[in-house]
């Protein structure tokens, strides 16, 4: 362990302050009465009101986009983790021809610029009538969630000691039993980390959501938040408020699973 | 505990009542539901809700739901394009910006309404003409907007006669009052300069003032004429040389300019009529009672020009209920509804006969005869199915020139040649 | 030695058919979904790019036009400016985020108190939707009434109209992107930092090398693989930037901050020219693909497969 010096402590504090300041600003704005928002801003708020939060939920039916985002992100996570885990295990532990090509293919897909596939997705979904529906968002989200999950889990599975599986087989377990009873529990941290990444990516997406949904009933959170910002009148305050609310689920996840996220990102290389 | 039971019973009763009434309300299976989408900004939202309530009372079998849309016209356009491309059947009635009708008609997204025999003779000819495509009528004008000059009666004795006078008067006030402090007036003249459709309307007014146009009578692109270059140079110099127009306007749309003027920070503002009612609201506005409205001034070589804006109502081509949709449109176009809109939201009615009535005089802030004159002289934007793209080309060039990335002449020449190429490629250019 | 149906220890190097079937059974659901929603669309985009398809002009039909969409796309000056903006954004954000990330990683490495809290705080920007980040930073730099100008005015400095100036508009964009992404890069680099053997530093200390020397001779070289991986993934992400710019500047002033993804979006979804937009999409895809390929070739695929391993 490097000897910590006070210089580094100062640097860290400065960085943390810089990181937190805009968040502080957004939170303060969400509680600031409308008239003050256009006047010269002050760092310490003079008045705090709950009006905007009330307006958001009463007048603007904010629960719908929250619900939509939760359902879409949740479904994306579930599908990409369950299907992706199987694929990742095959790529990590099993031998079969075309493995390197498959891995390269998955990696390549994760590099696709979203804009490049959005127009055919739009046309495809329009033809089958899936615009403004949950599957109509979940399927496109799998485009980037699935490769991401596979990629993360491949790294994670490779880190797991081979003895785990060997021991299970020595005890006479079949592939299925080995996977269900031994591998899954051992891989749980990796699965959770991968799941959280998939959730965050789906929760935060804007491009696909804004193009593939247009009805109020189908819109997700980022679209609604961005929509507030263009409505210049009272909606700026709603934007700050809705933005703050949109942060909460990812924030909770970041707080609760900070260790797992870091482990997942670095395949367990970063020590606590 | 004895007290709990009655409370639970009361709760259950309430729940039951709620469920029953909800069922009763939602269960009216024979009522048809119409959806309408449009702008709900400020007073407009108030007015439309009141009018829809009256419609419901007049037509008990039809309920009308309002679909919210973004305030910014460009965003609403984007949303409509997505809806109609996805062939959704709702909303049934669409509020369109006056320049969108040819585009939507050509794409087959809105239904022709000649079959309903609308009262076109009662409406201003120019407003009806803008809604025709290929000989058929596709929408009806709902209200008319014209660009106007707002000015502070506490700072000036009279409205400026031309643009040079405007600049002089603005500068004098700015110098006299200073830029800071409670009495300060930092901005001389504010207009909408963000890179969006509003910029084109502001430019159109300056353009007409100097004698230019976007398309000539034959439909040829003439936005790169000398008059245009003068107009754009004037706008640019007003910001950087004269200091009368703040650079910030290049990021402002209608509401931001209204706020600046409303907070007493500007001498002149160019905006649509809707702003007047809001400016006169003493509870929010610092300039209530000291605002007056005048036509946009002219300049050497041209004439005072107001951009013709406004909204039209159209029927979604994929709607299941076109007849009911037309009933709603017809209702909203009745004189009574139009007068109410004028009184509350300050938007001018397209019915010519109303301009001779005393009711309209009471509802508007300027004499109806003057309003009529301005409307009849107002300049429409080009009527074309590719107008949005033409506008986008122009917006980019105008904004580039105004942010000093390019000089006005090359910017306009670039825009003009791109517009010509576009019209040519789409087999729409005049022979 | 064991009776498990595993592969790698088989003397003959072949694979059992059971294992093969199992592998494909496990992999095919995921792969077929990816094929459906990623591979198929990119092929369709390519097909569209060879046709004229304007959604607003249904009477023009969808005729085959060969490469004329590509000719038009590559001939438009706006395309090349957009590409230039994107390249600038990639380089600038990379420089800021790699150096900032390295600094942050070294700081995180040395933190002993409130480790969890500091790391959570640092992860927050990454967790926030890009749209929200863009809006918060946009309002901070707005005129008038923006926080940035208020602070600048308070310090007696000039107050530019950030979003009305072609050069100044990049500042809030880069700051917002750096704010959101540097922590992410830092975590990636932290992993690399922690794999460096401590004894190397101790030996250098004994030899009398100062902190800067140690950094240049030990840290940087050993961190190269991690820097490369972080660099490649960050530059690919920066190349695809859309949300941030669309919400913050809309590509303005004029088109001064318009990246290639936004230009493609405007062509596709605002001008509704799907044929031309598809050609642009393919070009964007090709640039990204060959860039990644080039970097991987240059630095050896080992570094990247190592990362995925």
**What is the tens place of the pLDDT at every residue in B341-395?**
888 888 899 998 888 888 888 777 778 888 888 888 888 899 888 898 899 999 9
What is the domain range of residue C150?
35-308
CB contact C266 to B (< 8 Å): yes
**A102 vs C contacts (CB less than 8 Å):** 27, 31
Q: Is there a contact between A233 and B41 if contact means CB atoms under 8 Å apart? A: yes
The shortest C-alpha distance from C162 to chain B (Å) reads 9
Q: How confident is the model at residue A210 (pLDDT cuts 50, 70, 90)?
A: confident
Which residues from chain A sit within 8 angstroms of residue C83, using beta carbons? Answer: none
A82, A90, A245: which to substitute to probe chain C, counting the most C Cβ within 10 Å? A90
Lowest-pLDDT choice from A88-102, A128-142, C32-46? A88-102
pLDDT per position as a tens digit, B310-328 = 999 999 999 999 999 999 9
Residue C56 lies in a domain: yes
Provide mean pLDDT across the span B286-307.
89
Average pLDDT over residues C278-293: 87
Least confident of A192-201, A240-249, B235-244, B287-296: A240-249
Q: What is the pLDDT of residues B384-420, one digit of tens each?
A: 888 988 999 999 999 999 999 999 999 999 999 999 9
Residue in A closest to C19 by C-alpha: A94
Enumerate the residues of chain C whose CB falls inside 8 A of the CB of residue A14. Answer: none
The predicted model gives C216-240 an average pLDDT of 84
Q: Which two tokens stand for residue A95?
A: 């031998």
Determine contact, residues A191/A81, Cβ cutoff 8 Å. yes
User: Is A104 part of the contact surface with chain C (CB cutoff 8 Å)?
Assistant: no
Q: How far is CA C160 from CA A41, B138, B217, B247, B310, in A?
A: 17, 46, 42, 9, 35
Choose among C33, C45, C147: nearest Cβ to A117.
Answer: C45
Contact state of A165 with C6 under an 8 Å Cβ cutoff: yes
B27 to chain C, closest Cα gap in Å: 40
**CA B210 – CA B204 distance, rounded (Å):** 10
Residue, of B184 and B425, whose pLDDT is higher? B184
Inform me whether the pLDDT recorded for A229 exceeds 70.
no
Using an 8 Å CB-CB cutoff, list chain A residues near C136.
Answer: 22-23, 25-26, 240, 243
Residue C237 counted as domain residue: yes
Is B67 close to A132, i.e. CB distance below 8 A?
no
B contacts of A38 (beta carbons < 8 Å): 259, 263
| Cα-Cα-Cα-Cα dihedral sign, residues B110, B111, B116, B119 | positive
Alpha helices in chain C (DSSP H): 17-34, 40-48, 68-75, 77-110, 115-127, 130-140, 147-154, 170-194, 198-206, 211-214, 220-239, 243-248, 260-265, 274-299, 301-308
Task: With CB atoms and an 8 Å threshold, state whether A230 touches B259.
Answer: no
Q: Does B126 touch chain A (CB under 8 A)?
A: no
- Average the pLDDT over each of A238-252, B198-212, C30-44 and give the range with the smallest value: A238-252
Work out how many domains chain C is built from and give that number: 1
Q: Mind listing the pLDDT tens digit for each residue in B241-251?
A: 999 999 999 99
Mean pLDDT in residue range A16-24: 82
Are the Cβ atoms of A2 and C138 closer than 8 angstroms? no
Residues of A with CB below 8 A from C268's CB?
115, 118-119
Q: What percent of chain C has pLDDT over 90?
A: 25
Question: Mapping DSSP to helix (H, G, I), strand (E, B) and coil, where does residue B139 land?
Answer: strand
Q: For residue B86, list chain A residues with Cβ-Cβ distance below 8 A.
A: 126, 131-132, 214
pLDDT of residue A49: 66
DSSP C207: T
Res. B24: pLDDT tops 70: no
Q: Which of B76, B236, B251 best probes binding to C when mutated, by most C CB atoms within 10 angstroms?
A: B251
Q: Please name the residue that has the structure tokens 């030695």.
A: C1
Confidence of residue A42 (pLDDT cuts 50, 70, 90): low
Chain B residues with beta carbon closer than 8 angstroms to that of C266:
392
Residue B222 has pLDDT above 90, yes or no: yes
Chain A residues in contact with C36 by the CB 8 A cut-off are: 139
Among C293, C235, C238, CA closest to C260? C238
Higher pLDDT: B416 or A14? It is B416
Cβ burial, residue B57 (10 Å; 0-12/13-18/19+): exposed
- CB-based contact, B248 to chain A, within 8 Å: no
Residue C212: which CATH number? 1.10.3720.10
Q: What is the pLDDT of residues A60-97, one digit of tens each?
A: 677 888 889 999 999 999 999 999 988 888 888 887 78
Residues of A (127-186) whose Cβ lies below 8 Å from C: 139-140, 142-143, 146-147, 150-151, 154-155, 158, 165-166, 169-170, 175
Residue C23 in any domain: the answer is no
**Residue C18 included in any domain:** no
Residues of B in contact with A231 (CB under 8 A): 70-72
SS3 B89: coil
Does a structural domain hold residue C207? yes
CA distance C167 to chain A (A): 23
Nearest to C57 among B246, B248, B426 (CB): B426
CB contact under 8 A, C271 and B388: yes
Distance CA C168, CA C189 (A): 30
Which residues in chain C are closer than 8 Å to A239, comparing Cβ atoms? Answer: 135
Q: Which pLDDT band, with edges at 50, 70 and 90, does A46 fall under?
A: low
**Subunits that touch chain B (at least 3 Cβ pairs < 8 angstroms)?**
A, C
Best residue of B67, B71, B275 to probe chain A, by most A CBs closer than 10 Å: B71
Domains and CATH numbers, chain A: 1-49 (no CATH), 60-266 (1.10.3720.10)
B65 shares contact with chain A (CB less than 8 Å): no
In this prediction, residues C18-36 reach a mean pLDDT of 85
Residue environment code for C266-305, b if the CB has 16+ CB neighbours within 10 A, otherwise e: bbbbbbbbbbbbbbbbbbbbebbeebbeebbeebeeebbe
Band of the pLDDT at B428, cuts 50, 70, 90?
low
Binary contact (A20, C277; C-beta < 8 A): no
Residue C168: the pLDDT is 92
Residue C20 covered by a domain: no
Return the SS3 of C249: coil
Give the residue, B32 or C303, on which the prediction is more confident.
B32
Q: Does A250 contact chain C (CB < 8 Å)?
A: yes
Q: How confident is the model at residue B15 (pLDDT cuts 50, 70, 90)?
A: very low
C92-116: per-residue pLDDT in tens? 999 999 999 998 888 888 777 777 7
Task: Give the pLDDT confidence score for residue A73 in this predicted structure.
Answer: 93
Residues 6 or more apart in contact with residue C246 via CB below 8 angstroms: A206, C134, C262, C265
Q: Do residue A111 and residue C288 have CB atoms under 8 angstroms apart?
A: yes
Pairwise CB contact (< 8 Å): B88 & A232 = no
Q: B331 exposed, middle or buried (CB, 10 Å; 0-12, 13-18, 19+)? A: middle
Report the distance separating Cα C247 and Cα C243, nearest Å: 6
DSSP C93: H
Across A228-249, average pLDDT: 68
B70 interfaces chain A, CB cutoff of 8 Å: yes
Q: How far apart are CA B376 and CA B304, in angstroms?
A: 12
**Contact yes or no for C56 and B247 at CB 8 A:** no
Residue B109: the pLDDT is 93
Inter-chain touch C254–B82, beta carbons under 8 Å? no
- Looking at beta carbons, which residues of chain A come within 8 Å of B82? 211, 214
Q: Residue A25 — pLDDT band, cuts 50, 70, 90?
A: confident
CA-based nearest residue to C40, from A77, A87, A142: A142
pLDDT number for residue C263:
94
Contact across the interface for A87 and C31, Cβ inside 8 Å: yes
Q: What is the pLDDT of residues C190-214, one digit of tens each?
A: 877 877 777 888 888 888 877 777 7
**Nearest-by-Cβ selection for C164 from B248, B389, B426:** B248
Chain mean pLDDT for chain A: 77
Residue range A93-103, pLDDT digits in tens: 887 787 778 88
> CB distance C57–B107 less than 8 Å?
yes
Neighbors of chain C with 3 or more C-beta pairs under 8 Å: A, B
DSSP of C29-83: HHHHHHIIIIIHHHHHHHHHTTB--BTT-GGG---B-TTHHHHHHHH-HHHHHHH
* Candidates A224, A227, A235, partner chain B, best to mutate (most B CBs within 10 A): A227
Distance CA A38, CA B396 (A): 28
Query: Which pLDDT belongs to residue B3?
Result: 43
**pLDDT, tens digit (0-9, with 9 covering 90-100), for C137-188:** 888 888 776 778 888 888 888 888 899 999 999 999 999 999 999 988 888 8
Contacts of A34 in chain B (CB under 8 A): none
Q: Is residue C12 part of a domain?
A: no
Sign of CA dihedral B217, B218, B219, B221: negative
Tell me if chain A has a CB within 8 Å of the CB of B179: no
Q: How many CB atoms lie within 10 A of CB A78?
A: 14
DSSP string over B255-282 = HHHHHHHHTT-EEEEEE-THHHHHHT-T
Cβ of A19 and C121 within 8 Å? Answer: yes
Residue C27 located in a structural domain: no
Distance from CA of B91 to the nearest CA of C (A): 19
From the candidates B192, B255, B278, which should be mutated to test the interface with A, based on the most A CB atoms within 10 A? B255
d(CA B44, CA B53): 14
The shortest CB-CB distance from A86 to any of C27, C37, C274 is to C27
A2-11, B144-153, B243-252, C28-37: least confident range: A2-11
């Amino acid at each position: 362990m490097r000897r910590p010096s006070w210089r580094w402590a100062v640097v860290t504090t400065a960085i943390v302050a810089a990181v937190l300041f805009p968040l502080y600003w957004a939170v303060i704005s969400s509680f600031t009465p409308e008239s003050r928002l256009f006047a010269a801003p002050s760092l310490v708020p003079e008045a705090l009101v709950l009006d905007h939060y009330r307006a958001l939920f009463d007048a603007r039916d904010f629960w719908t986009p929250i619900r939509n985002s939760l359902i879409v992100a949740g479904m994306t996570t579930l599908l990409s983790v369950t299907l992706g885990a199987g694929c990742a295990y095959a790529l990590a532990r099993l031998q079969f021809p075309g493995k390197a090509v498959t891995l390269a293919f998955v990696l390549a897909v994760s590099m696709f610029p979203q804009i490049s596939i959005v127009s055919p997705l739009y046309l495809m979904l329009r033809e089958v009538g899936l615009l403004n529906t949950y599957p109509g968002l979940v399927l496109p989200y799998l485009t980037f969630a699935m490769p991401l999950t596979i990629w993360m889990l491949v790294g994670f599975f490779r880190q797991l000691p081979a003895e785990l599986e060997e021991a299970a087989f020595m005890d006479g377990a079949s592939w299925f039993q080995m996977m269900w009873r031994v591998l899954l529990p051992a891989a749980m941290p990796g699965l959770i980390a991968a799941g959280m990444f998939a959730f965050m990516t789906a929760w935060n997406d804007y491009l696909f959501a804004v193009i593939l949904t247009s009805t109020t009933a189908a819109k997700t959170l980022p679209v609604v938040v961005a929509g507030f910002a263009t409505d210049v009148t009272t909606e700026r305050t709603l934007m700050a408020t809705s933005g703050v609310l949109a942060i909460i689920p990812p924030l909770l996840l970041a707080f609760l699973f900070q260790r797992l996220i870091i482990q997942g990102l670095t395949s367990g290389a970063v020590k606590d | 505990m004895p007290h709990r039971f009655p409370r639970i019973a009361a709760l259950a009763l309430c729940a039951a009542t709620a469920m029953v009434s909800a069922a009763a309300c939602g269960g009216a299976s024979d009522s048809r539901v119409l959806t309408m989408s449009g702008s709900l900004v400020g007073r407009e939202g108030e007015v439309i809700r009141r009018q829809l309530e009256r419609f419901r009372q007049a037509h008990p079998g039809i309920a009308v739901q309002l679909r919210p849309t973004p305030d910014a016209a460009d965003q609403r356009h984007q949303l409509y394009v997505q809806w109609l491309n996805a062939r959704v059947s709702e909303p049934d009635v669409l509020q369109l910006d006056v320049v969108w009708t040819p585009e939507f008609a050509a794409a087959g997204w809105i239904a022709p309404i000649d079959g309903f025999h609308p009262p076109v003779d009662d409406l201003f000819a120019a407003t009806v003409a803008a809604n025709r495509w290929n000989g058929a009528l596709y929408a009806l004008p709902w209200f008319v907007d014209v660009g106007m000059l707002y000015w502070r009666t506490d700072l000036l004795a009279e409205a400026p006669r031309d643009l040079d006078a405007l600049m002089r008067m603005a500068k004098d006030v700015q110098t006299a009052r200073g830029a800071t402090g409670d009495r300060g007036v930092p901005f001389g003249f504010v207009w909408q300069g963000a890179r969006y459709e509003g910029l084109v309307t502001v430019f159109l007014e300056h353009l007409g003032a100097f004698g230019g146009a976007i398309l000539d009578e034959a439909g040829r692109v003439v936005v790169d004429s000398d008059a245009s270059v003068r107009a754009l140079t004037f706008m640019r110099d007003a910001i950087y040389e004269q200091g009368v127009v703040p650079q910030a306007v290049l990021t402002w749309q209608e509401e931001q300019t209204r706020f600046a003027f409303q907070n007493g920070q500007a001498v002149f503002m160019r905006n649509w009529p809707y702003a007047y009612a809001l400016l006169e609201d003493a509870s929010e506005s610092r300039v209530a009672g000291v605002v007056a409205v005048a036509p946009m001034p002219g300049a050497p070589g041209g004439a005072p020009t107001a951009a013709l804006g406004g909204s039209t109502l159209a029927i979604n081509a994929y709607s299941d209920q076109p007849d009911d949709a037309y009933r709603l449109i017809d209702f909203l176009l009745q004189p009574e509804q139009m007068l109410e809109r004028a009184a509350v939201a300050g938007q001018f009615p397209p019915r010519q006969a109303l301009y001779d009535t005393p009711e309209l005089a009471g509802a508007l802030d300027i004499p109806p005869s003057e309003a009529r004159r301005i409307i009849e002289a107002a300049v429409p934007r080009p009527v074309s199915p590719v107008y949005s793209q033409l506008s986008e080309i122009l917006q980019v060039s105008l904004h580039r020139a105004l942010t000093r990335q390019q000089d006005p002449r090359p910017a306009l020449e670039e825009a003009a040649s791109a517009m010509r190429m576009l019209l040519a490629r789409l087999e729409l250019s005049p022979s | 030695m064991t009776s498990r149906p595993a592969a790698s220890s088989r003397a003959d190097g072949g694979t059992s058919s059971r294992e093969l079937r199992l592998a494909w059974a496990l992999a095919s659901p995921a792969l077929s979904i990816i094929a459906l929603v990623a591979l198929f669309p990119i092929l369709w985009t390519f097909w569209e790019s060879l046709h004229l398809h304007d959604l607003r002009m249904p009477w023009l039909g969808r005729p085959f036009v060969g490469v004329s969409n590509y000719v038009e796309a590559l001939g438009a000056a706006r395309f090349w400016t957009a590409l230039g903006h994107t390249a600038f954004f990639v380089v600038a954000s990379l420089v800021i985020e790699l150096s900032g990330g390295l600094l942050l990683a070294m700081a995180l490495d040395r933190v002993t108190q409130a480790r969890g809290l500091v790391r959570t705080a640092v992860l927050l920007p990454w967790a926030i939707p890009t749209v929200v980040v863009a809006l918060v930073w946009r309002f901070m730099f707005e005129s008038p009434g923006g926080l940035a100008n208020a602070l600048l005015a308070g310090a007696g400095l000039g107050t530019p109209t950030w979003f009305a100036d072609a050069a100044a508009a990049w500042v809030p964009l880069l700051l917002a992107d750096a704010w959101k992404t540097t922590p992410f890069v830092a975590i990636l680099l932290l992993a690399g930092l922690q794999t460096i053997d401590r004894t190397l530093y101790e030996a250098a200390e004994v030899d009398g090398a100062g902190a800067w020397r140690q950094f240049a001779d030990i840290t940087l070289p050993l961190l190269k693989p991690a820097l490369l991986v972080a660099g490649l993934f960050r530059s690919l992400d920066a190349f695809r930037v859309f949300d941030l710019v669309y919400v913050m500047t809309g590509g303005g002033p004029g088109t001064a901050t318009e990246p290639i993804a936004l230009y493609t979006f405007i062509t596709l979804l605002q001008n509704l020219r799907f044929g031309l937009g598809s050609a642009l999409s393919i070009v964007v895809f090709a640039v990204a693909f060959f860039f990644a390929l080039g970097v991987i070739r240059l630095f050896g695929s080992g570094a990247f497969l190592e990362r995925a391993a």
